[in-house]
Each structure stands twice: as C-alpha cells, then as structure tokens.
Amino acid sequence: MHHLPLKLAALLASAAAVSCQNYAQLAKQLSNTAQIYQPGTAAFNAAVLRWSNYSTPVANVVVVPGTENDVVQTVKFANQHSLPFLATNGVHGSITTLGKMTRGIEIHMSQLNSIVVAQDGSTATIGGGVMSKNLTDALWAVGKQTVTGTCECVGYMGPGLGGGHGWLQGRHGLVSDQYVSLNVVLANGSLITVNEHSELFWAMKGAGHNFGIVTSVTSQIYDIQHPNYAMETLIFSGSKVEAVYALANQQWLTNGATMPVDLINWSYWYFDPTTDAEKPVIAMYLIQEGVNKVDAAHTNPFLKLGPISTESVSGTYRDLAAWTGISLSDTPCQKTGNANPRFPIYLKSYNPIAQGLVYELFREATTAANSPFGHALFMFEGYSQQGVKAIGQDATAFAYREDNLLVAPLLTYAPNGPATDAIASALGNTIRQILFQGSGETSLNTYVNYAYGDETPAAWYGSDQWRQNRLSALKEDFDPAGQFSFYAPIRS
Ligand SMILES: Cc1cc2nc3c(=O)[nH]c(=O)nc-3n(C[C@H](O)[C@H](O)[C@H](O)COP(=O)(O)OP(=O)(O)OC[C@H]3O[C@@H](n4cnc5c(N)ncnc54)[C@H](O)[C@@H]3O)c2cc1C
Ligand SMILES: *[C@@H]1O[C@H](CO)[C@@H](O)[C@H](O)[C@H]1NC(C)=O
Ligand SMILES: *[C@@H]1O[C@H](CO)[C@@H](O)[C@H](O)[C@H]1NC(C)=O
Ligand SMILES: *[C@@H]1O[C@H](CO)[C@@H](O)[C@H](O)[C@H]1NC(C)=O
Ligand SMILES: *[C@@H]1O[C@H](CO)[C@@H](O)[C@H](O)[C@H]1NC(C)=O
C-alpha cells in the first residue's frame, strides 16, 4: 500500500521542477550551437550575475540560443511545461519587477550577435544579443554609426525597447527611432516580422519589453559625419549648486529654446573626499561634437562661476564612454554585488531651488557616518533633442519627447537586508518627489529603463489615457497571459 504516497511524491516533484531529462529533450530540438546551463555550474553562475543585486530574477536553467529558431523552440518548450521565461543580454536591467520571476528559463541572447550592413549602406541587421560597444565598433570600422546607448556594456536591444537615449539622438532621434523592422518571438512561440505595417511596431518603440523576444532588428545607420569630439569637465563645489543649475537653464532650457544639436551636458554629483572632504562635488561635462576644443561660448559662463578645477580632452566619438566613466573598464560595467536602484524623473528644465534641496539630502546620504550610500551617484543627463523632437509625440510608445533632462539618483549600496532596502527606497522617492514638485508638472514622467519599479504604468509609458488604452489592447492581443511582464508590465 505504500507505493501510492511514493507515486504522489513523484508527481509532486515533477510538477515543481522540470527534470534534467526534460532539458535533454529541449536540447534535441535546439541547434548544435545552443547551450543549456544547469544550476551549480560555473557557466550558470556567470550567466545569472547581474549589474544590480536587488530584486533579481531567478531561473532554474539558462538557455543560450544559437539561432532564431532556438528561441522559438525554447519559448514553446517553456509553454509546454508552464515555465516562466525571460530574455537577458547585457544584464543591466535593474527594475524591481524583475524579482517577480522566481523560477523558469533565462534565455541568454549573447550568441545572436551578428551584425550585417546592407549593400546600400543605409541599414544594418543586428542580432538580439548584440552589445552596444560591439555595434559601435563594427559600424565604425566601415565608416558608419547609429544611435546606441552610451554605456559600452549595455545591450543594443534593452535600451531601445524602452526608447533608448544615446549621444547621437540630437542628430537622428532615439535608438528605437532607427528601427525599420524586427524579428520577434511572441508569447505563444510564433515568430513574426514587425515593421511599419504592423500594429506592434508602435509599441516595440518604447514598451517593447512587454511583447516579445527580438531575435534581430534592422536599423537605420549613417555615414560618420563628425568623428571628433571634445569635452570640458568642470568640477564645482556643492556650495554652487543653485548657481550652476541656474546657469545651465539660462540659455537653452527656458522659453522653449533647446540645446544646440552639437552639445551635450551631463553632470554627476558624488562624494570625492580628496577634492572636498565635507560634501559631494558637482562634475559638469560639456561635450561637443565636431571640434577639438569645446567652444569658449559654452565654457566661459561656467568658468565665471569659479570651478575647483577644469580639464579638457579631445578624441573621437568612441572615447565618450571612457570620458564619462561608462566604458568596459569602469565600475558601471562590473558586477560588484551591490544593489543599484535608481529613481528617475524626466524634467523640462532645472529648478535651482529644488536642486539645492535634493543636494542637501544627497550630501547627508553620502557623507553621514555609517551611511550605506557613500558611493551613490546623482546623474543629470542633458542630451541634445532635435532628432527626438522631430518625430511626432504620438508616433511611438515612448511618451517623453517633450522633456529635456533625464535625472536620477543612483543609490548604490551593499545589500544588507530589507531595512537598508527600505531606506534606499524612501530616500530615492523623497528626492524624486522634491524634483517633481519643483517641476510644476502634473504627471510623474520616468524613463522605464532607469525605473526603480514602484512607479505606475502611467509613469513608465505616459499618463495620456489613449496611450494606456492602446498598450493594454495590444497586450491583450499579443501577450494575454502576461508572459512578458517581468520588466515594467503594462498591466500588473
Ligand atoms: C551603467 C548603465 C548605463 C546605461 N546607459 C543607458 C543609455 O545610455 N541609454 C539608455 O537608453 N539606457 C541606458 N541604461 C539603461 C538600459 O537601457 C537598461 O538597463 C536596459 O535594460 C539594459 O539592457 P541590457 O540588455 O543591458 O540588460 P538586460 O537586463 O539583459 O535586459 C533588460 C531587459 O530587456 C529585455 N530584453 C533584453 N534583450 C532583449 C531582446 N533581444 N528581446 C526582447 N527583450 C529583450 C528583457 O526584458 C530584459 O529583462 C543604462 C543602464 C546602466 C546600468
Ligand atoms: C564584443 O566586444 C567584447 C569586448 O570588446 C569582445 O570581447 C567580444 O569578443 C565582442 N563580441 C563580438 C561578437 O564581437
Ligand atoms: C549646457 O551647457 C550650456 C553651456 O554653455 C548651457 O547654456 C546649457 O543650458 C546647458 N544645458 C544643460 C542641459 O545643462
Ligand atoms: C547579493 O546580495 C546578497 C544579499 O542580499 C548576498 O548574499 C550575495 O552574496 C550578493 N551577490 C553577490 C554576487 O555579491
Ligand atoms: C500567436 O499569437 C499571435 C498574436 O496574438 C496570433 O496572431 C497567432 O495566431 C498565434 N499563433 C498560434 C500558433 O496560436
């Protein structure tokens, strides 16, 4: 009589986990270049490590497709076994909703890394696992370029599916504005081509993580017009915070004016006790295209504010990542084991008073004895916007073409239990709330790709009701069971 409970136990076990035998079955359906990594192996451990070690997705197996059809087979297999799945590439996604994945298959895209430039030189077809720097380098070698994310170690697809900001957006628009057509594996395992004639094309450009796995994309590319760049770094004392941002506003960000197309301003705040032992510094980067020295007309007003130090560099487009601390060898490209939450907000211009208030909170957080946030970084990204604004507000799912600045505190800390997580979340949200109130805007606009995870779909995809309706309807059509809902779900 005791064989009944045993049978039951076996049944329960097979319901809880897919056995190695089943993965052997999957392996038979995959090409001979595909890989399957089982837990406990070095390859598995390396593949599941992420940039931000907080609210991370958990997988029972990692599949590395070798072909587009391998992605199809893996999704179908996951569906047969009722397993969740998630595409990963640069592993820089950090939104807390990813933590809702507690089991299933990670589909690591790294082998789908081909880059093919069309004969006429106007487009390139780019694998869904291509990384930003690999694309930049491959195109550069043939005298071409396109809009990619700025950081060398993020994927090409990940940023673009949420819109995608990059150095060249002032010229050509967002990363996703370059898409001509995408090959997409849908939730049910169907492979479709999405282009301007498809319903889904609009949604892939800003809310794309919600709809499928992109195996490849054909994007517009351009002849390199302005290879050379210069950057001026001005380090200011934090005591000048209001003056610095009042000046940054003055010429370009008020009265409907925009940044010159060849100019990008970023600034970072961070605590560097070797420069100022008391409080965080303001590092202002003026980046200009097509010159070997940033025009005095741009630097002089800032020099008059009396920076602690200045430095000029010149080089090419490909040096920008290293100059701004986001090249392959910099900290943002290492997996440090830190939690890396950001609390982004888009702004039209700076409110110098609000900048002063959040500086005070940031100063406390980075300098207080025993604070976990000593290495936090506050980022202010002011790209040129001509290419972004040249495209209609409602042309794509990316909702924030009218905004000019992407602002976010990055509250890096060593994970230390839920109490510290809660402090990070409270601080980040307080900072964001002050900036929001100071902006006078009526809706909180956030970049989905920097989002913390506690924002609403309205904050990720735009508060206009028609946007929410359109996205919800597409979600119902293409992903009714919400299988692509680990990354900033349109519907929770
Ligand atoms: C240091 C740093 C710098 C950054 N710089 C920029 C920047 O300059 N511009 C910018 O716009 N953003 C930037 N980001 C944000 C970036 O857009 C997101 O972190 C993005 O999620 C990274 O994609 P990934 O492939 O690196 O990460 P992953 O975590 O591997 O992917 C993120 C998500 O994208 C989806 N995904 C990835 N590949 C595919 C695919 N082929 N098909 C379908 N879905 C896919 C999945 O949902 C996945 O969860 C930066 C982030 C960091 C940490
Ligand atoms: C991508 O770039 C990295 C770093 O430069 C390099 O190690 C890797 O081989 C490249 N991958 C491809 C497919 O070119
Ligand atoms: C960038 O710098 C110029 C400096 O000359 C300034 O006028 C402009 O407002 C700055 N823009 C941003 C976004 O900070
Ligand atoms: C991630 O954080 C947890 C604590 O939350 C810690 O145990 C683990 O070692 C960290 N991972 C890495 C790779 O450092
Ligand atoms: C898969 O989903 C798409 C979009 O909803 C649908 O058009 C297609 O018919 C489905 N395919 C199958 C085989 O069910």
pLDDT by residue for the chain (492 residues), tens only, comes to 445 455 555 444 444 467 777 899 999 999 999 999 999 999 999 999 999 999 999 999 999 999 999 999 999 999 999 999 999 999 999 999 999 999 999 999 999 999 999 999 999 999 999 999 999 999 999 999 999 999 999 999 999 999 999 999 999 999 999 999 999 999 999 999 999 999 999 999 999 999 999 999 999 999 999 999 999 999 999 999 999 999 998 866 665 667 899 999 999 999 999 999 999 999 999 999 999 999 999 999 999 999 999 999 999 999 999 999 999 999 999 999 999 999 999 999 999 999 999 999 999 999 999 999 999 999 999 999 999 999 999 999 999 999 999 999 999 999 999 999 999 999 999 999 999 999 999 999 999 999 999 999 999 999 999 999 999 999 999 999 999 999 999 987
Specify whether the CB–CB gap between 490 and 207 falls below 8 A. Answer: yes
Closest Cα to atom 6, ligand 2: which residue? 134
The preferred substitution site among 247, 269, 407 for testing ligand 3, maximizing ligand atoms within 8 Å of CB, is: 247
Q: Which ligand is nearest to the CA of 352?
A: 3
The pLDDT assigned to 256 comes to: 60
Which residue's CA is the closest to the ligand 3 atom numbered 7?
251
Element (H, E) at 421: helix 418-439
From the CA of 321, the nearest ligand is 1
Is 337's C-beta closer than 6 angstroms to any atom of ligand 4? yes
Q: Is residue 484 in some structural domain?
A: no
Locate the ligand 5 atom nearest the alpha carbon of residue 189 and give its number: 1
**C-beta atoms surrounding 117 within 10 Å:** 18
The verdict on residue 368 lying in a domain is yes
Regarding the beta carbon of 382 and ligand 3, being less than 6 Å apart is answered yes
Could you tell me if 289 and 262 are in contact, meaning their C-beta atoms sit under 8 angstroms apart?
yes
Instruction: State if residue 412 touches ligand 2 by the CB under 6 angstroms criterion.
Output: no
Atom number in ligand 5 closest to CA 188: 1
Q: Is the CB of 131 under 6 A from ligand 2?
A: yes
Mutating to test ligand 4, I would choose from 48, 50, 53 the residue with most ligand atoms within 8 A of its C-beta, which is: 53
CATH number, domain with residue 178: 3.30.465.10
91 lines ligand 1 (CB under 6 A): yes
Domain count, the chain: 3
**Residue 97: which CATH number?**
3.30.43.10
d(CA 154, CA 131): 6
Alpha carbon 25 to chain centroid, angstroms? 35
Residue 370 maps to a domain: yes
Q: What CA–CA distances, in Å, run from 296 to 170, 180, 292, 293, 304? A: 21, 39, 12, 8, 12
pLDDT of residue 430: 98
User: Is residue 81 domain-shared with residue 172, that is, in the same domain?
Assistant: no
Residue 16 lies in a domain: no
Ligand 1 nearest-atom number relative to CA 98: 49
13 lies in a domain?
no
Give the residue whose CA is nearest to atom 11 of ligand 5: 190
Q: Which two tokens stand for residue 108?
A: 């690591």
Rounded CA-CA distance 103/37 in Å is 14
Atom of ligand 1 nearest to the CA of 450: 15
- What pLDDT is attached to residue 250? 82
Q: Which of 83, 108, 133 is the last residue of a domain?
A: 108
Q: Are residues 89 and 141 located together in one domain of the fold? A: no
Distances (CA, A) of 440 to 349, 374, 409, 452: 11, 30, 20, 22
Angle between helices 200-207 and 465-478 (to 10 degrees): 110
455 and 354, same structural domain?
Answer: yes
**What integer pLDDT is reported at residue 2 of this predicted model?**
47
Ligand 3 test: best mutation among 169, 251, 385, most atoms within 8 Å of CB?
251
Tell me what pLDDT residue 21 has. 73
Question: Do residues 52 and 162 both lie within one domain?
Answer: no
Shared domain for 213 and 360, answered yes or no, is no
Q: What pLDDT is stored for residue 6 in this prediction?
A: 54
Cα–Cα distance, 262 to 295 (Å, whole number): 11
The verdict on pTM exceeding 0.85 is: yes
Q: Which domain CATH number covers 267?
A: 3.40.462.20
Ligand 3 lined by 259 (C-beta under 6 Å): yes
The closest residue, in CA terms, to atom 13 on ligand 4 is 337
CA distance 363 to 360: 5
Tell me if 404 is assigned to some domain: yes
Query: Which pLDDT score is estimated for 251?
Result: 63
Kindly state if the Cβ of 188 falls inside 6 Å of ligand 5: yes
Judge if 327 and 393 occupy the same domain: yes
Q: How far is the CA of 340 from the centre of ligand 4 (A)?
A: 12
| Cβ of 73 below 6 Å from ligand 1 | no
Give yes or no for residue 134 CB within 6 A of ligand 2.
yes
The residue range of the domain holding 71 is 26-108
Do 199 and 136 belong together in one domain?
A: yes
Which amino acid residue places its CA nearest to atom 4 of ligand 3?
Answer: 298
- Direct distance between the N- and C-terminal alpha carbons of the chain, in angstroms, rounded to an integer: 46
Residue to mutate (ligand 1; options 55, 86, 92; most atoms within 8 A of CB): 92
Whether 194 lines ligand 5, by a CB cut-off of 6 Å, is no
Tell which of 62, 80, 108 closes a domain: 108
Could you tell me if 271 and 331 lie in one domain? yes
Sheet of strand 123-127: strand arrangement:
115-117, 123-127, 213-220, 179-185, 191-195
Residue 115: exposure state from Cβ atoms within 10 A (0-12, 13-18, ≥19): middle
Q: Which of 41, 73, 108 is the last residue of a domain?
A: 108
Whether residue 362 contacts residue 431, with contact meaning beta carbons closer than 8 Å, is answered with: yes
Contact of 369 with 428, CB cutoff 8 Å:
no
For residue 231 and ligand 1, the question of a CB distance below 6 A is answered with: no
Same domain, 252 and 341: yes
Is residue 89 within 6 Å of ligand 1 at its C-beta? yes
Task: Identify whether residues 179 and 56 lie together within a single domain.
Answer: no
Claim to verify: residue 406 and residue 340 sit in the same structural domain: yes
CB atoms within 10 A of CB 1: 4
| Distance, CA of 258 to CA of 139 (rounded, Å) | 29
Angle (CA) 194-198-199 rounded to 5° is: 120
Does residue 175 fall inside a structural domain?
Answer: yes
Q: Tell which one of 188, 191, 198 to mutate to probe ligand 5, the residue whose CB is within 8 A of the most ligand atoms.
A: 188
Tell me, using a 6 A CB cutoff, whether residue 409 lines ligand 1: no
Same domain? 377 vs 277 = yes
What is the residue with the minimal CA distance to atom 5 of ligand 1?
151
Q: Which atom of ligand 4 lies closest to the CA of 335?
A: 13
Distance in Å, CA 84 to ligand 3 centroid:
46
Task: Confirm if 211 and 474 have CB atoms less than 8 A apart.
Answer: yes
Q: Are 398 and 356 in contact (CB under 8 A)?
A: no
Residue 6 lies in a domain: no
Pocket of ligand 4 contains residue 415 by CB under 6 Å: yes
